[in-house]
Structure 1
Amino acid sequence: MGLFDSATFHNLQNGLKGAAMEQKAISENIANVDTPNYKAKSAQFQHTLDEAIQNEKMHANVTNNKHIEFGSNNQSQAYLSEDETTMYNHNGNNVDMDKEMSDSAKNQIYYNALTDRLSSKFNSLKSAIRGG
């Protein structure tokens, strides 16, 4: 087991990847606010984080190859989805600029919280290495 193989680092990494994917989707939506027939996209990654937390709670100590492993190893991946159900503009576009700006601010707060937590973990490791 390496220094950065802990579940916390793994979950923080997945959260940062999801937040980056969400920011990319928001940026694409804002860039295409006037594009005819463009459908707003959003990242779907919360389910992957929930699965990781559930699998962490259901960890089994396997001492024999005949033991059954708890939890599932087939985690689903994050993906982008399009909202086909609404239409805000007469040209078929459904990008709501107010919603996108709100989502961007919310995602930025989430991303900052994750980076603060990751920074705290690195500072703890640095303190342990220095012996303080």
Structure 2
Amino acid sequence: MLDSYHLQVLERSMDAASMRHRAITNNLANINTPYFKSQQVIFEEYLQDELNGVIGKQNLEAYRTSERHIPFKNSGGFAMPQLVSNPSAYVQNNGNNVDMDAESAELAKNQIWYNGLTQLTAGSFQKLRSVIEGGGK
């Protein structure tokens, strides 16, 4: 069964997958827009750092002059997905850098990932429900 930390990992992963879906569909919608620069979501590296206990870009804590000051952390101090420009070197004649094949493949991969996350989350809640109800009397 999952504890609150693991549920938070699942929640942030689902947030990242949802954000990635919006970014990819926006990229595909603008495939013929001159000078449009595609975007991608960066999350897995931040999550891996978080899970490994490595202080990365997302977990930097500001210097506080007093213990009474509020700590400077992101929401919950947990890895957050980031939307960044896609560093793709391939640019079409119109200045657009959206690659339909690559974006379509990423969309399919992201959909499979999101479905897996939702199944894992639903299964965890089903187990919790079973425990609460007395193990399926």
TM-score by length of 2: 0.74
Q: Structure 2 unaligned runs (5+)?
A: 54-75
2-side partners of 1:126 and 1:74: how far apart?
29
Alignment-derived partner of residue 34 in structure 1: 32
| 1:48 Cα deviation after fit | 2.7
Amino acid at match of 1:108: Q
Tell me if structure 2 keeps the 8 A contact 1:44–1:80. yes
The number of equivalent residue pairs is 112
Q: Does 2:117 align with 1:114? A: yes
Identity of aligned residues (%): 36
| 1:9 Cα deviation after fit | 0.3
SS in structure 2 at match of 1:92: coil
| 1:75 Cα deviation after fit | 4.7
Alignment-derived partner of residue 129 in structure 1: 132
TM-score by length of 1: 0.77
Tell me if structure 1 keeps the 8 A contact 2:12–2:80. no
Pairs within 5 Å for 1:67-78:
75=78, 77-78=80-81
Q: How far does the alpha carbon of each residue in 1:9-40 deviate from its partner, in whole angstroms, 9 at most, with x for none?
A: 01000100010111111011001000000111
Q: Does 2:108 align with 1:105? A: yes
- The structure whose RCO (Cα within 8 Å, separation 6+) is larger is 2
Alignment-derived partner of residue 99 in structure 2: 96
Q: Structure 1 unaligned runs (5+)?
A: 56-72
2-side partners of 1:24 and 1:80: how far apart?
10
Tell me if structure 2 keeps the 8 A contact 1:51–1:75. no
| 1:49 Cα deviation after fit | 1.6
Match of 1:23 among 21, 24, 27: 21
2-side partners of 1:12 and 1:77: how far apart?
12
CA RMSD of aligned residues (A): 1.9
